[in-house]
Amino acid sequence: MKNNVLIIGGGPAGLEAASGLQRLGYNVILIERTTMLGGHLASWDRLFPDGASATGALDGLLARMDGVKCFTDTEVQSINRLEKSYNVILSNGITVLADAVLVASGFDLFKAERKEEYGYGIYDHVITNADLEAWFASGSDTRIDSPNKIGFVHCVGSRDEKSGCRSCSKVCCATAVKQACEMKQAFPDAQIYCFYMDLRMFGRHYEDLYLGAQKEYGVRFIRGRVAEVSENVDGSLLVKAEDTVAGKPLKVTLDLLVLMAGMRPSAAGRRVGGLLQMPVEEDGFFAVRDGILSGQRSQLPGLFLAGAATGPKTLPETLADARGAVTEIDRYLSDVFPNAKNYKTLVRERW
């Protein structure tokens, strides 16, 4: 008998772990709450730092999924520990006896309307990073109307004790700089401002992206928090900020303001975590057993974690984390079920 592995979540982490486990010979069942695989990646346009196509990356992940049983529109209804396995009843009527469960429940974007002072959902020309990405992909959003002056607010729902979101979301700085460059390409006459606290361009090629934004695109980086946004009678936005480098307050009138909403624990993930009684940390993301040697084991036997379920991650980090989960699950199952018959699946690829 092969071991069954249940993967909860069909975003990049779930997909990458599914294909890896399938190749190692496990019987993999992946469930996705929504109608579509891909998670947030499916609604993104281009990826930092090189502008790679998000669709291309997702296609790459989906192309490896041969043999994995995927159920979309499916959630966990109940879950019970039975000796060494978990009996999981799914909302589609199927029951799985899972020898290991991987929670890859991802993240929700911070709800930008919670920061009332920025006016999302109130003023016409205030949008989020996700809205802008959807516009890059579709070209349609009435709020984006040939803007001449565009602002990006970093750290919306990140590094913000008042919102109960103390930690950094890690990906917003690089996303903002990428989107700023793309807006300058779309509107060559526009002047673009980024309001930031610390520019966290830490990854390979990120610094090039940042220098290019300044030199090639003339993006103006202003170190300071936006204090308040209000709407003028003509629909333009009056933004008040503190320029901490110039040491004085600053007012600027903009045609479009983009809020870089941070990564928050997924509400659906929290629900599943509750069914599994899986501990969360103060930051709201799931606790791991060892943050250095293994960030993919939960504190409970047979339950594993991958991707943004354990905190903000870039896409390559999420995929690496998923591969780590494959290793951990394989180790666990080989040990706990030494007599199971899991044969490697050969996958032909071009090299």
Site residues (CB under 8 A) for its own copies? 20, 23, 47, 49-50, 52, 57, 60-61, 159, 166-168, 170, 198-208, 211, 244-247, 283, 285, 291-293, 295, 301, 310-312, 315-317, 319-321, 323-324, 326-327, 330-332, 334-336, 338, 344, 346-349, 351
Output the smallest distance, CB 36 to its own copies, in A.
Answer: 20
Q: Name the residue nearer to its own copies (CB basis): 163 or 167.
A: 167
115 or 170: CB nearest its own copies: 170
| Residue 120 beta carbon to its own copies: minimum distance, rounded to whole angstroms | 24
CB of 272 to its own copies, least distance (A): 20
| Closest CB to its own copies among residues 50, 116 | 50
| Sheet of strand 226-231: strand arrangement | 226-231, 237-243, 248-254
Distance of CA 93 to the CA centre of its chain: 29
Residue carrying the six token digits 């339950």: 303
Provide the strand spans (E) within the chain.
4-8, 27-31, 46-47, 52-53, 69-71, 76-82, 85-90, 95-98, 100-103, 107-109, 126-128, 149-156, 191-196, 220-223, 226-231, 237-243, 248-254, 256-261, 263-265, 303-305
Report, in Å, the least distance between residue 188 CB and its own copies: 26
Please say which residue, 147 or 312, places its beta carbon nearer to its own copies: 312
Output 205 or 274, the one with its CB closest to its own copies.
205
Least distance from C-beta 327 to its own copies, angstroms?
A: 5
Spatial separation of the C-alpha atoms in residues 125 and 255, rounded to whole Å: 7
At 273, the amino acid letter reads G
Helix (H) or strand (E) holding 253: strand 248-254
